[in-house]
Amino acid sequence: MQEAERKYLEALSMRYPTPTDAALEMASLTAELSMPKETEFFVSDIHGEHAAFSHILRNASGNIRTLIDAVFGDELSAEEKASLASLVYYPAQRTAIELKATADQRLWCASALDMLIRLAGPLALRHTQQRVIDATPARYASLVQALLFHDAAHPEGDTYFNTLVAAIIEAGQAPDFIVVLAELIQHLAVDHLHMLGDVYDRGTYPDRIMEELMNFPSIDIQWGNHDVVWMGAALGQWGCIAHVVRNCARYGNLSILEDSYGINLRPLAEFAQRTYGEDPCVGYALKGDPGLSEAEHALNVKIQKAMAILQFKVEAQLIAENPSFGLESRNLLHTIDFNTGTIVLDGTEYPIVDMVMPTVDPADPYRLTPEEDQVMHALEAAFVGCEKLQRHMAFLLEVGSLYTIYNGNLLFHACVPLNPDGTLKEVEVFGETYKGRALFDVFDHYVREAFTSTDPVMRKRGKDLIWYMWLGEGSPLFAKSKMATFEIYMIADKAARKEVKNSFYSLFDQREVFDEMFRDFGLDPQTAHIVCGHVPVKVKDGEDPVKCDGKVFTIDGGYSSAYQGTTGIAGFTLIYNSYGYFLDAHQPISSTKDAIEQRLDIFSDRRVIKEAPEQIPVADTDRGALLRDQIFSLKALCE
């Protein structure tokens, strides 16, 4: 026996001090191998739409309603089933409503507890007792164990069960215990959540989504381009800050910064009012109307313009500092002919929409004015000093990455950059070239360096590379030829704004290209899949989210209301459980308030993508491999 193995077994013996202890654990792990594989949920591009996302998690993408039908059949009416479902989704709120409306609160509590326990039973049987206990608050664990795993066939079983429920009601703990059971049902219905990026931007409540994700028992996150730009902003990176503030203003969502995160925008607002107070700000109309007052709307427009001009200047400085990024062509302010109000792009002359640029010196267009410099320093201090934002970004760093390999599936947000011929695109990163998995790994490394390195040079490189990941052609998160922010604001002709997608999106019909991609990531092309988001799927136009002969699932279905006109639906959830792969296309929901008060639900159209020939056990998953390793070690310990 090697020394390292001996030390490992000695450490293991501290947990299992006798052969009997080790043998019992082996038996438990062996039994778990035969249980059904966990239920995985894949979602992407939530973009701040908390109400829809939260509801999908709470109703397990419709699985709770299916479970209610299976358990209660014709025993409950359609209205009673809707009430029970709403109780599972929003237990605290619905309990308060029901207790206020009922004449016999004890009777209602007894009925609610009975239905929730019956509903939790089948889910509990799909999991080990330890998994159920782990998903339960510690103070209620023994109670849940007694109620869900009691022997109903035993002569005294019903008596014990009924006495226990009555005691809970008598002690006044029924409302709290209803919440515990409902949340347990939610957590057992979705074993593991894969968030494939873009929690942030566009929608109004990304902070609430982050809080919900932080409370989810089992989760991994693949960073999206909109996530990393917020990560960069939290680090004080000026290019990222300029985008985040400008984009919030563009969607009328400055409340995310001010109210949700406490970012002080007063210096910026005062600067924007002084500089652009009488300016009509042509070309800076808001995207949508989130119900702002006339004054709020006007301020958002002015702030958007102020930050757009600042963004062009800040980015020019970053491009000059990082010539290896190859972004010189995106410096366009200096190419404007300020005499004629025109610009020449790719040989075509275009008129500039808005020539009112009081802070731009034609002789030195990228120089920040003293006021602009003060504004950026104030914003940097506000972002870096925001405890809530730092906590959320630390969570993204902890459970997130650029890609994940899980149960044979390759998960990432946008794409693996490809050349037009389908070969892996080489990208220069600080003097070295990378492609495929190595490219993802080096970007991931620099993101972590930006947050944790003690070397100021490495931290600066990491922060600047995060900005590049937001808009660079070689970024696996951006996946386009250019970020046409300048053209969108300055040029009316849409031809000048064209952003060409990476070849990844045009080669789905070439299976051999993706087989080579799987091999580069160490996966078997015969069994592996890619799950990604980033580009909205135009379902209303007949686009299929399942591509490359069923090897690629693109699941941006438009959770964001800004994209629902493009997709025709309100988001996808991909489900991978012991029966195979299923894709749910969701309908929109008005608000959480309506869902609670009117017992509304999100209904989804389910499509079978790939049905397993027989039920998949834990033994055939990544966890199964881990359990077998543990069993092998326990056998060695016994010997």
pLDDT digits (tens, 9 = 90+) for 324-380: 999 999 999 999 999 999 999 999 999 999 999 999 999 999 999 999 999 999 999
Segment 33-43 mean pLDDT: 97
Q: Please state the domain count of the chain.
A: 3
Domain of 7, in residue numbers: 3-35+626-638
Segment 90-99 mean pLDDT: 96
Segment 147-152 mean pLDDT: 74
Q: What is the pLDDT of residues 592-609, one digit of tens each?
A: 998 999 999 998 999 999
d(CA 302, CA 559): 28
d(CA 123, CA 119): 8
In a domain, 526, yes or no: no
489 and 580 share a domain? no
Q: For a pLDDT cut of 70, what percent of the chain falls above it?
A: 99
573 and 612 share a domain? yes
In the predicted model, is pLDDT for residue 154 greater than 70?
no
Segment 174-196 mean pLDDT: 96
Confidence bin at 487 (pLDDT 50/70/90): very high
363 and 500 share a domain? yes
Segment 137-161 mean pLDDT: 78
495 and 354 share a domain? yes
Buried b (16+ CB within 10 A) or exposed e, 530-553: bbbbbbbbebeeeeebbbbeebbb
Query: What tokens does 229 get?
Result: 């730009």
In the predicted model, is pLDDT for residue 244 greater than 90?
yes
Q: What is the pLDDT of residues 104-123, one digit of tens each?
A: 999 999 999 999 999 999 99
Segment 195-209 mean pLDDT: 96
In a domain, 525, yes or no: no
Q: What pLDDT does residue 591 have?
A: 87
In the predicted model, is pLDDT for residue 541 greater than 90?
yes
Domain boundary among 506, 524, 555: 506
140 and 274 share a domain? no
d(CA 402, CA 436): 12
Confidence bin at 136 (pLDDT 50/70/90): very high
Confidence bin at 291 (pLDDT 50/70/90): confident
In a domain, 411, yes or no: no
In a domain, 317, yes or no: yes
Mean pLDDT of the chain: 95
In the predicted model, is pLDDT for residue 552 greater than 70?
yes
Q: What is the pLDDT of residues 62-79, one digit of tens each?
A: 999 999 999 999 999 999
Q: What pLDDT does residue 290 have?
A: 79
Q: What pLDDT does residue 161 have?
A: 80
19 and 44 share a domain? no
54 and 72 share a domain? yes
What single string gives the DSSP state of each residue in 84-148? Answer: HHHHHHSHHHHHHHHHHH-S-HHHHHHHHHHHHHHHHHHHHHTS-HHHHHHTS-GGGHHHHHHHH
559 and 498 share a domain? no
Evaluate the CA torsion angle 101, 106, 108, 112 in order and state its sign.
Answer: positive
301 and 380 share a domain? yes
10 and 71 share a domain? no
In the predicted model, is pLDDT for residue 40 greater than 90?
yes
C-beta atoms surrounding 484 within 10 Å? 18
In a domain, 202, yes or no: no
In a domain, 554, yes or no: yes
Confidence bin at 639 (pLDDT 50/70/90): confident
In the predicted model, is pLDDT for residue 289 greater than 80?
no
d(CA 129, CA 151): 14
In a domain, 187, yes or no: yes
153 and 229 share a domain? no
Distance of CA 179 to the CA centre of its chain: 25
* Contacts (Cβ under 8 Å, ≥6 apart) of 617: 33, 34, 35, 36, 37, 578, 624
Query: What tokens does 218 get?
Result: 């089992």
d(CA 230, CA 240): 7
Q: What pLDDT does residue 152 have?
A: 54
Segment 437-450 mean pLDDT: 98
Confidence bin at 589 (pLDDT 50/70/90): confident
In a domain, 403, yes or no: no
153 and 234 share a domain? no
Q: What is the pLDDT of residues 598-638, one digit of tens each?
A: 999 998 999 999 999 999 999 999 999 999 999 999 999 99
d(CA 446, CA 9): 36
Confidence bin at 288 (pLDDT 50/70/90): confident
In the predicted model, is pLDDT for residue 98 greater than 80?
yes
Residue ranges with strand state E in 274-391 = 342-345, 348-351
Q: What pLDDT does residue 156 have?
A: 59
Q: What is the pLDDT of residues 256-269, one digit of tens each?
A: 999 999 999 999 99
